[in-house]
């Protein structure tokens, strides 16, 4: 029997309130049915294994709701799909962002770039005292663009050239604005912790800059921007390019193999359906980014049915105090995991 003959289902782009589907014990149409949501004793939400899972089980694959490359990466990668992209693909309007041929032909991708483009063009034209090296600011502008686009078009148009390309290699969840809004925020009193005063003060500064930089029709109140920035800070993922993707882009390379280092940070993004997993300093799952900027959350060891599925929000190779400090500062919580307890001595 030839295995090429196996009937192949066309991969899906799933645009549904995935969180709601998971709460009902249904991973949606995409076969992401290894997780089920439940309340924890401390009233938080937990994602649990719906059955015994072997290591390497794909739990979700999620396209970025909004993502921006880091400054170093801006002149190397497409702003739409994060794939390597030459200087000839610079956006004519701002002269900074690059958009590969397929992203440049995508109305949705262009709409997502709109506010950032306007701001980048103003900076190029000599506005003083401003810098878009500030990742939070660019991510906020991106979210405002996405929000506007989702207001104007039907859900079937949420997919971008990047998510279409990603879907060619497997199912992918495309989150909508409701999924983003459902992320708890430590700024407006969600069930999560509160960000420290100093962080909120900084978010206010960024929000004020955003208000000044974006086109008049896009202006959101400073308070609304601060709330959005808070959600971004508490739920953002640092995107990394794995060594194997670098090899694909740059020809040959040494190594290969799994688990090794070589994860270069390339940007920051928000993935609402991947932000449902809680942190643990000895997690049983981990996130990684594929060549399409999608995050894949996979089990890293065998997980029993009913066990909570957790991912690392910080580098778990760090020592106890360093981990806990980062979690406190960036994610506004005191880690109460078993490993932290054990290492308390």
Residues in contact with Zn ion by CB under 5 A are: 78, 80-81, 91, 93-94, 97, 100, 103, 117, 281, 335, 337, 340
Bridge-based pairing of strands 13-14 and 285-289 is unpaired
Q: Which is nearer to Zn ion, 117 or 143 (CB)?
A: 117
Residue 271: CB minimum distance to Zn ion, A = 18
Helix (H, G, I), strand (E, B) or coil at 145: helix
Q: Which is nearer to Zn ion, 49 or 327 (CB)?
A: 327
Q: Which is nearer to Zn ion, 26 or 90 (CB)?
A: 90
Return all residues near 316 (Cβ < 8 A) that are at least 6 apart: 281, 282, 283, 323
Determine the Cα–Cα distance for residues 176 and 108; give it in Å rounded to an integer: 13
Question: Which tokens belong to 140?
Answer: 């906020």
Residue 160: CB minimum distance to Zn ion, A = 9
Q: Which is nearer to Zn ion, 15 or 100 (CB)?
A: 100
Q: Which is nearer to Zn ion, 80 or 272 (CB)?
A: 80
Residue 58: CB minimum distance to Zn ion, A = 24
Determine the Cα–Cα distance for residues 166 and 289; give it in Å rounded to an integer: 12
Place of tokens 């998971």: 22
> Which of 73, 156, 75 has its CA nearest to residue 108?
156
Residue 341: CB minimum distance to Zn ion, A = 8
Residue 117: CB minimum distance to Zn ion, A = 3
Tell me if 65 sits within 8 A of 175, measured CB to CB.
yes
Q: Which residues pair with 49 in a beta bridge?
A: 35
Q: Which is nearer to Zn ion, 100 or 275 (CB)?
A: 100
Determine the Cα–Cα distance for residues 45 and 313; give it in Å rounded to an integer: 16
Residue 118: CB minimum distance to Zn ion, A = 8
Determine the Cα–Cα distance for residues 26 and 35; give it in Å rounded to an integer: 8
């Amino acid at each position: 029997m030839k295995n090429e003959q196996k009937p192949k289902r066309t991969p899906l782009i799933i645009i549904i309130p995935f969180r709601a589907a998971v709460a009902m014990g249904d991973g949606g149409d995409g076969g992401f049915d290894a997780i089920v949501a439940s309340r924890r004793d401390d009233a938080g939400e937990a994602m649990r294994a719906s059955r015994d899972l072997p290591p390497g089980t794909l739990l979700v694959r999620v396209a970025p709701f909004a993502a921006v490359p880091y400054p170093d990466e801006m002149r190397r990668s497409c702003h739409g799909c994060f794939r390597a992209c030459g200087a000839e693909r610079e956006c004519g309007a701002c002269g900074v962002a690059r958009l590969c041929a397929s992203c440049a032909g995508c109305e949705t991708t262009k709409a997502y770039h709109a506010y950032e483009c306007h701001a980048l063009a103003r900076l190029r034209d000599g506005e003083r005292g401003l810098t878009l090296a500030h990742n939070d600011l660019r991510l906020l502008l991106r979210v405002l663009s996405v929000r506007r686009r989702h207001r104007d078009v039907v859900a079937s148009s949420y997919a971008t050239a990047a998510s279409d390309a990603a879907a060619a290699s497997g199912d992918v969840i495309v989150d909508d604005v409701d999924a983003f809004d459902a992320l708890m925020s430590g700024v407006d009193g969600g069930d999560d912790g509160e960000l420290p005063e100093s962080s909120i003060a900084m978010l206010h500064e960024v929000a004020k800059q955003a208000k000044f930089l974006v086109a008049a029709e896009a202006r959101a109140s400073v308070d609304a921007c601060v709330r959005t920035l808070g959600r971004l800070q508490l739920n953002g993922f640092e995107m990394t390019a794995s060594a194997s993707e670098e090899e694909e882009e740059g020809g040959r390379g040494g190594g290969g193999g799994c688990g090794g280092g070589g994860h270069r940070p390339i940007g920051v993004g928000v993935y609402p359906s991947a932000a449902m997993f809680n942190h643990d300093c000895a997690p049983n799952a981990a996130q990684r980014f594929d060549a399409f900027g999608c995050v894949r959350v996979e089990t890293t060891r065998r997980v029993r049915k009913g066990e909570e599925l957790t991912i690392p929000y910080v580098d778990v190779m760090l020592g106890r105090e360093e981990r806990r400090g980062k979690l406190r500062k960036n994610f506004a919580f005191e880690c109460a995991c078993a490993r932290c307890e054990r290492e308390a001595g």
